[in-house]
Chains A and B, each alone.
Chain A
Amino acid sequence: MKNLKMSIAAMLLLTLSFTNAQEKEKMNHNHGDMKMDGMKMNMEKMNPAAEAVLADYFMLKDALVGDDTKKAAQAGTKLMASLKAFDTKSYTKEEQKELADIIADATEHAEHIAESAIDHQREHFKTLSKDITDMVAITGTKNTLYEQFCPMYDKGSAWLSTSDQVRNPYYGSKMLKCGKVKKTIN
């Protein structure tokens, strides 16, 4: 009787561990697929996570161009979320380290932008712009971007735009067209 109990228990354990192993294999398989996708996207310079970050950055930039503190704060909150969702697994070790650093820094600026007055938002936007520019240098992007530069704000400050027309996010309506295109990306 005791023997029977033991063997039933052993059988149960065996089946359990077997199904478990199968599950694991399945999971590994999925994981492999995801990695492949990531690599393909990287090759096509179309990382949806990076594009999402860029979209929020441009929403923020436009809000600052329009002197709209509230909208800029909202964009800051959105940017925090898209930065958090950025999975860097498909990049090399070195790029991952750099991206993690960029994301940490950018997140902090986005946080401050989400809860500050417009002067402060613009201050943080300056460093944020550098972070995003460095991110694009690694991830690439599907669109042509223009790095623009205003020599007056804080001893010279840059930002990114999807248009070659200059609309200054640091001064807004005060000096809307101050600045020039410094570099074309893509």
Chain B
Amino acid sequence: MKKALKIIGIILLVALVVLQFFPTERNISTTVPETDFMLVNDVPDQIKNKLQVSCYDCHSNNTAYPWYNKVQPVAWFLEDHVKEGKAELNFNEWDSLSNRRKASKLKSMISQIENDEMPLASYTIIHRNAVLSDSEKQDIINFLTELKNKL
């Protein structure tokens, strides 16, 4: 019995090592396009910083990769999130949207933050600095609401 457990353990360990040789596609871009949310809107520094840390990892062309995000299978899990996140909303491509689409996106952002659906709990559990406090949430929501009303 003990021997069997040992064998299973070794197999798992080997599998984990082998997994590391299957790298994921990194979501990294060194340029920020002209259509970026921060470039076309007058965003206060504090909110800028918060959006960057809490949202841009999955909702832009550039993810910050701490070491644990490079380890499999975490990297795979993250890659999926980034793909889905960018399809839903990409801050880098903000200004390529029509006013109708912008209004829709802003409405969704506001309601997602209001209902604590974003940033994802599975993300903030590791990225503690991505957690939004109640006052930070309110600031962001106010800013986004104002932006929506100005469209």
Contacts and interface: CB of A to CB of B under 8 A. Distances in A.
Interface of A: 101-102, 104-105, 108-109, 123, 127, 131
A127 B101 contact: no
B111 A105 contact: no
A123 B104 contact: no
A123 B111 contact: yes
Interface residues of B, number: 7
A102 B104 contact: no
16 contacts: A101-B98, A101-B100, A101-B101, A102-B100, A104-B101, A105-B100, A105-B101, A105-B104, A108-B104, A109-B104, A123-B107, A123-B111, A127-B103, A127-B104, A127-B107, A131-B100
A115 B59 CA distance: 21
A84 to B, nearest CB: 17
Interface in B58-109: 98, 100-101, 103-104, 107
A104 B107 CA distance: 16
A127 to B, nearest CB: 5
Nearest to A109: B104
Contacts of A101: 98, 100-101
A169 B11 CA distance: 55
Contacts of B104: 105, 108-109, 127
